Amino acid sequence: VVVNLLNLSTMKLSLASLLFAAPAAAFAPSGSFGVPRTSLNMSTETEEKAFAKLPATIKPGVVTGKALQDLLQNASDNGYAIPGVNIVGTDSINSCMEAAAKYGGPIMVTFSKGGGQFIAGKAADNTDDAASIAGAISGAKHVHEVAKLYGVPVVLHTDHCQKAWLPWIDGLLAASEEHFAQTGEPLFSSHMLDLSEEPLEENIGICRDYMEKFAKVNILLEFELGVTGGEEDGVDNTDVDSSRLYTQPEEVWYSYQQLSTVENAMFTCAASFGNVHGVYAPGNVDLQPVILHNSQKFIAEKLDNGIDKPMLFVFHGGSGSSVDDIKYAIEGGVVKMNIDTDTQWAFWDGVRAYEKEHHDYLQGQIGNPDGDDIPNKKYYDPRMSLRAGQEAMAARLCQAAEDLNCVNVLN
């Protein structure tokens, strides 16, 4: 997910430009905006707690609604961020949950439109996004069935959705509405609408319309201000004007005000601070996490309610970022960081290493260095190489959790 082809290191940012913000996400509690944190309806301690360090609302398995709200606020209050990982099937989904169980923290499993289609099968009919919708729903149901077995909180999220892709979200929302009618909880925990290419008023106007729908079934909205550079899963911003990589605090404040008028609204804001999808050579990306800190100060002064970090931000384009930038972004209110490029490489690298180690046993069904008539089935069984990929991806996510201060945050 992250670093950019644009040579932003040549940019001479003025002091005023440091007041801009980057793909970070702001979170509004349910109810009216500006409510002091002490009145956010945080869970009471009368309820039995599943995790010693988390509010009682948060249980193993898929986390939605009030539990999700409490989880994100806990991350902000305690200075950690949740890894948000793009997945393409049950192998990567299970790697996410395996990693979370190992590092002792929550995980966010993220479906893209293309990822949903891949889960359904590339040969499946995708007319009107049918395969993209069905695949994401299938993957979400898989998580609902097995997440509790890993003993960790799991957030089910969807990634960048442009204006032209809104019918995909409509299909997923319909599935959540059906699930809510049956269980009292949505199928998906949250959805991201990326309307950053539209004028601000139109972006937030559409987001507000969807926020009204989401609020009825306890779904959180993630919205984007500014643009995340680079290219990822059909969203190509490699040639975007560099000025659009930095969001202004006034834009975040306007969005917060508009969305907070929705009853029971829950939202995060991906504000751009120079973020770029992908991994690039050092010097090609100029992250400015100070933008988040300045945005928090700006909004806190507007609210004047004693809360120093009123917004919860999300960090897009996290792969390849320096640990120092990640830590400083978390201090500025980041509660989730997206990871895709690094985990894609990790999975492949695990498969590659498996093939290298067992190369001589993978050249035919029969015959290897141990004998010409010895079968090789136990080596070419797809589960063997896929498991190697799973383990490598899980290990990379444990490393990411360390960078995000997300280790041992449950108990």
Phi first, then psi, for residue 107 (nearest 5°) are -145, 150
CA 336 to CA 326: how far, in whole Å?
10
Are the C-beta atoms of 110 and 338 separated by less than 8 Å?
Answer: yes
Please report which residue ranges of 151-224 form alpha helices under DSSP H.
166-183, 200-215
Which amino acid type is present at position 188?
Answer: F
- What do you get for the CA distance between the two ends of the chain, in Å? 30
- Alpha carbon distances (Å) from 95 to 101, 345, 390: 10, 13, 5
Q: Hey, which residues are catalytic here?
A: 159
CA 326 to CA 406: how far, in whole Å?
12
CA 115 to CA 282: how far, in whole Å?
29
Cα 131 off chain centre by: 22
Query: Which tokens belong to 316?
Result: 């897009």
Are the C-beta atoms of 105 and 410 separated by less than 8 Å?
Answer: yes
